[in-house]
């Protein structure tokens, strides 16, 4: 949790990889809400998640972040199973560039993601 926190306050993206059901989401939920008392939004991504859905949802989150900023709170956005969509380009831009379609992401947003390991079949 210390490494996650240090990366978060440095605005470095956090990507957690692990098998389904190992507790990735539970760890972030416990840490952000119970330890830090911040707001957490879990963005469940799946094969049907389109770029429009991602953009609209993130714009909603940016509005929420503006409200939270007045109370000195951070908004943690957790992209759960982000590697299941074809729209990795947008998620990559958000996570690594901290922009959405070229527009900067608010400073009080913490970006995290989780993926399942790739398996050869």
| Structural domain spans, the chain | 2-115
pTM of the model: 0.88
CATH 3.40.50.300 fits 2-115, yes or no: yes
Average pLDDT taken over every residue of the chain: 90
* CA atoms lying within 13 Å on the CB side of residue 13: 19
Range 61-77 burial, b when 16+ CB lie within 10 A, else e: bbebbeebeeeebbbbb
- 67-120: pLDDT as tens digits: 999 888 999 999 999 888 888 899 999 999 999 999 999 999 999 999 888 777
The predicted pLDDT at position 117 comes to 84
The predicted pLDDT at position 34 comes to 86
């Amino acid at each position: 949790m210390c490494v996650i926190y240090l990366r978060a306050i440095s605005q470095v993206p956090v990507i957690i990889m692990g098998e389904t059901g190992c507790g990735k989401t539970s760890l972030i939920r416990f840490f952000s809400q119970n330890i830090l008392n911040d707001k957490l939004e879990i963005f469940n991504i799946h094969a049907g998640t389109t770029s429009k859905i991602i953009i609209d949802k993130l714009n909603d989150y940016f509005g929420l972040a503006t409200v939270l900023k007045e109370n000195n709170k951070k908004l943690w956005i957790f992209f759960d199973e982000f590697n299941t969509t074809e729209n990795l380009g947008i998620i990559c831009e958000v996570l690594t560039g901290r922009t959405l379609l070229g527009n900067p992401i608010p400073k009080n947003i913490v970006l995290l993601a989780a993926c399942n390991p790739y398996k050869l079949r």
